[in-house]
Structure 1
Amino acid sequence: MSFKLDFSEATDFGPVPDGIYEVITFNVNEDATQNGAEFINFDFIIRNDIQQARGNSHLFHRIWKSKKDGKYNKGMVMTVAKACGLEDGKEYNSFDDFLADFAMTPVKVQVKNEQSEYNGKTYDNTNIKRFMGTSYPDVQHQFKGKAAESTPNFDRDPGQSSIDISSEDIPF
């Protein structure tokens, strides 16, 4: 078996440059820090079906529960929901159902690299500063690697029990 180097597949792992990006909402869930601070964690992927830098890179955004009342800032949550194109006035049976409704929604975000200080240490952060409706609602993004494995396949026939893969589909 042979192996050939192909540097066109090389990836830059540096921070995503400041700018505006079309992304797809990959995953949204509630989580908490080790100290118990709760937040909504948004995982966005920069779309590769649009000509833009850093396609397939992940961007993360958190909305924290208030320490004062233990609730999420409704304005922040509704801003993201509106930009992601969720239906105004829609009612959900649970908060988890609401978060699941974000799956695979396209949205446009403005990214800014900033520094923060915590306990005397300085950290570099890539922050999402603004959410906007997408300019490209017809999503043709192709997921790579593990993301492709965990992405629901809405086009597959529900009666189909297996997927045919030929040796040409395998990169090694």
Structure 2
Amino acid sequence: MGFIDLKEKTNDKSNLIPKGIYEMQISKVTGDASKGGHEYMKFDFLIRDDLDKVPELKDTNAKEHGRHYFANVWTAKDPNTGQDSGEYSQEDLANIADAIGLTQAQIDKYIKGKDDLMKACEGKFVRIYVSLGENEYQGEKRKQNSTFTNSWHPTKYPKQGAKPAADDPFQGTRGDANATELSDADIPF
């Protein structure tokens, strides 16, 4: 036997996370396209590990912290032809902007296109509902996680000690006027 024994590999194809509400940090966002040219933004989320003691997250963050979760936001299809329109849905873009705490003034000043939005997302904290369902692709049924931008919301738990970004969405960690500030009494650790 050599350095690696392939008989030892895991046969669990799922590697899925349980459905539920997670507090995550957007680690990275990149643009890509399918083989057919359908464009998308690929979000790499990291399940936060600093909220293990928060009671409402005991079945999500506390059990799955540190794991990556990937989600794609695709360009919309033209309602008349069913073909890729090449444009992102305004609803998807608005949901993403709201989840990371962008104001309309910041959008108008700093977000000139997809690349600016992707850059503004990186490092921000969000609250996301992740579902678990079954999908059929090329005759094979498989379980998969999914999320839609309408289930992305501002975090309830801004990172303690982080300085909120002032006006520039590309700097610092997202602060949120609607988020619940945590004190030592709120978290029993």
Say whether the fold is shared (TM-score over 0.5): yes
Q: Deviations over 1:55-95 (max 9, x none)?
A: 11111121111232321111012112201212333232443
> In 2, Cα distance between the equivalents of 1:57 and 1:50?
13
Q: Map 1:1-172 to 2 at 5 A.
A: 14-51=15-52, 52-68=62-78, 69-90=85-106, 91=108, 92-129=111-148, 130-138=151-159
- 2:98 maps to amino acid: K
Contact 1:82 1:88 in 2 (8 A): no
1:121 Cα offset (Å): 1.4
Secondary structure class of the residue paired with 1:101? helix
Residue identity opposite 1:121 in structure 2: E
SS at match of 1:132: strand
Question: For structure 2, which runs of at least 5 residues remain unmatched after alignment?
Answer: 1-11, 53-61, 79-84, 162-171, 173-189
Q: Percent identity over the alignment?
A: 28
Kept in 1: contact 2:99–2:126 (CA 8 A):
yes
| Cα distance per residue 1:102-124 (max 9 Å; x no partner) | 11100011111111112211122
- After TM superposition, the score normalised by the length of structure 1 is 0.68
Q: Report how far residue 99 of structure 1 moved.
A: 1.2
Give the TM-score of the pair, scaled to structure 2: 0.62
Matched residue pairs, number? Answer: 131
